[in-house]
Structure 1
Amino acid sequence: MGGRRWLTVGVEGLGILKIWIIEALSAVPSPELALRLYLQCAEAANDCGLEHVAYEFFAQTFVLYEEEIANSKAHLTAIHLIIGALQRMTVFGVENRDILTHKATGYSARLLKKPDQCRAVYTCSHLFWVDDEDGIKDGERVLLCLKRALRIANAAQQRANVARGSSGPVTLFVEILNKYLYFFEKGNQQITAAAIQHLKELINTEMQGDSAIPNSYSDAFLASTLRYIQFQKQKGGIMGEKFESVEL
C-alpha cells in the first residue's frame, strides 16, 4: 500500500492523534474504495474537532471524484456518499462549509442523466437544513436547491416528449413535492403553502396532458402524498393549522 506517513495533530484534551495521510490513501487501487476511506477519515476528523484535517480529506475526495472515477453509475453513488457525509459534518465554519456544499451541488447538477441530477440536487437541500438544536437552517438555499431540481425535472419531461412523443412519469415532481412538504413541516419559512399548491397543480397538469401516459407507480405515489397532506390537515394543533392552507 506504499509508504506510510503519520500526521500528528495536537488537540487540547485529546493528546496526540495519528491518522493516515493523503499519500497512503491515494495508493488504494480502487478509486471507489479510496473515496469511501477519505470520507470515513473526514468523519473521524470531524468527531475529533479537526476542521482543517476534515476539510483536506474532503478536498482530496473531490479530486478523486474528478480525476479517477469515470463511470457514470460510480459517479452517482459517489456523489450521494459525499452529500451524506457532508450532511453529518459539524466541525466546519461557514467558509469551508460553503466551499464544500457548492462543490457538492455543482457536481450533482452535472451527473450524466437528468433524473440522477434531479435527485442529487434535491438531496443537497438537506445540506442547508440540519434538524437539530444547533443545526444549520438556511431556508433560502434549501428553496434554491428545490427550484433547481424542479427545473431539471422539467427538462427531463421535455426530453421525454422529444424522444418518445409523450411525457414521462411525474415521479420526479412528486418526489420534489415530498421535499417541499418535509421542509414546510420543519418550519422553513421559504417553503410556503402557495408554493406547494403551485407544484401540486403542475403535477396535475402533467398527468392530464394529451401526451401523458398513465403510470401506476406515479399515481400511487401521488395518492399516498395527498393522503399524507389530508392526515396532517386533520391532525389538529399547530401542524393542522399549518397544513390547513394547503388545498387538496
Structure 2
Amino acid sequence: MTSFPFCCGFGQKLDEEDFKEEQNSVARLIHVLYNDEPEEMLKIICTVRKHIMAGGPKRLTFTVPPLAFSALKLVRRLQGQDGDMAGEEVPATPKKIFKLLNEIIEALSSVPSPELALRLYLQCAEAANDYELEPIAYEFFTQAFVLYEEEVADSKAQVTAIHLIIGTLQKMTVFGVENRDTLTHKATGYSAKLLKKPDQCRAVYACSHLFWVDDQDGIKDGERVLLCLKRSLRIANAAQQQANVTRGSSGPVTLFVEILNKYLYFFEKGNPQITSSAIQSLIELIKTEMQSDTTTPDKASDAFFSSTLRYVQFQKQKGGLMGEKYGPIKV
C-alpha cells in the first residue's frame, strides 16, 4: 500500500484547517461549561486546565483564552459574595482565582503569543481593580510591561499594545500615588520610543489622559497634562521636519490638528494649564504650516482643521460660561 508523506503541501494545508476547526470546537466547549456553585465551577476550571496544559503549546492559543475568560466570569460572579467558605475543599476566592489566572496566562509564553498574553493580563488587571486588590492589579500590569519590553517586537503590535496599556491604566482606580506614577512613567516612556514619529506623537498625547481623569478627583495634574501635550507637539514638529527631508516637502498637518483637539478637550475640562492664549498660538501655528509652500496639500487635514475651527466658533457663540472661556480665541 502506497502512503503519501504528511508534509505534502496540499495535505498539510487540509490538516492545518482541520486542526484549527478542532481547537475552535474545544474553545466553544470551554465557554459552555458552567455550574451555579462557585466552588464547583472552580473545580471544573482546574480540571480543564490540567487537560489543556497537557495538549502541547500549539493548542494553547486556542484553549487558554476561553479558559481565562471563564475564570474571569467566575471572579465577576463572586463580587458581593463572601466566596471564602469554610470547610470547602477548594474555596472560590478572588485571590485564588487570580493566582490561577496568572498561571494560565503564563503558559502562553511557551507558544509564544505575547500580544495575546498581554491582552489577558490587562483584562485581569481590570478585574482585580474592581475588587480593590492593588498588589494583584499591579502584578498583572508588571507582567504586561515585561511582555511588552521583552517579547513584542513588531512595530505595529507595539503601537496596539501601548494604546491598550494606556486605555486600561486610565480606567484603574485602585492604585496609590506611587504605583500609579511608576506605571504612567513606564507608559509615557515607551510611547516616546515607538518606531515612527506619528505613532510616538499619538501615544504621548494619549498619555495625557492618565494625568486627568474626570471620575477620579485625585487625578487632575494639569501641569503633567501640559507636559505631555508639549512633548507630543515637539514630536509632531520633528515628524514634519523628517517628512521635509525624506520627501522634499512637509507632510500633512494632521498631527498638529489632533493635538489642538486635545488642547480643546482639557481646556473645557477646566485644566488651568491649558489657556486660551496657548490654543490661539497653536491655531496660528497650524495656519502658518498649512500656508507654507513646502506643505503637501491634504484635503482630509484641511477638512479636519476647518471642522475644529467651526467647533470653536460654535462654542464662542453659545454664550454663558463656555462662551466666555472661548471668547478670547480668534478663528
- Under TM normalisation by the shorter chain, which class is it? over 0.9
Does 132-141 or 194-203 show the bigger shift?
Answer: 132-141
Question: Structure 1 length as normaliser, TM-score?
Answer: 0.93
Counterpart CA distance in 2 for 1:135 and 1:166 is: 45
Counterpart in the other structure of 2:106 = 26
Question: Paired residue for 1:129?
Answer: 212
Distance 1:212 1:85 in 2: 37
Cα deviation code 1:138-174 (max 9, x no counterpart): 1001000000000000000000011111111000000
Identity of aligned residues (%): 74
1:155 corresponds to 2:235:
no
Unaligned runs of 5+ in 2: 1-51, 55-66, 72-78, 85-92
CA contact (8 A) 2:173 2:216 kept: no
Which is richer in strand?
1
8 A contact 1:25–1:34 mirrored in 2 = yes
Ranges of 4+ aligned residues in structure 1 off by more than 3 Å: 1-4, 11-15
Larger Rg: 2
Q: For residues 176-229 of structure 1, what are the alpha-carbon distances to aligned partners after superposition, in whole Å with 9 as ceiling and x for unaligned?
A: 000000000110000000100111111111111121121100000000000000
TM-score normalised by the chain length of structure 2? 0.71
Q: Which amino acid letter does the alignment assign opposite residue 121 of structure 1?
A: V
Higher normalized helix content (fraction of residues): 2
Amino acid across the alignment from 1:163: T
Verify the 8 A CA contact 1:128 1:136 in the aligned structure 2. Answer: yes
1:14-53 matches, cutoff 5 A: 14=82, 15=84, 16-17=93-94, 18-19=97-98, 20-28=100-108, 29=111, 30-53=113-136
- Stretch deviating more after TM superposition (148-157 or 134-143): 134-143
Corresponding residue for 1:181? 264
Question: After superposition, where does 1:17-166 map in structure 2 within 5 Å?
Answer: 17=94, 18-19=97-98, 20-28=100-108, 29=111, 30-132=113-215, 134=217, 136-166=219-249
In 1, Cα distance between the equivalents of 2:216 and 2:104? 37
Residue 191 of structure 1 aligns to a residue in which SS? coil
Provide the aligned length of Structure 1 versus Structure 2.
Answer: 243
1:132 match: secondary structure: coil
Can you list the C-alpha shifts for 1:110-159, whole angstroms capped at 9, x where unaligned? 00100000000000000011112635111001000000000000000000
Matched residue, 1:203: 286
Instruction: Give the RMSD, CA atoms, in angstroms.
Output: 1.9
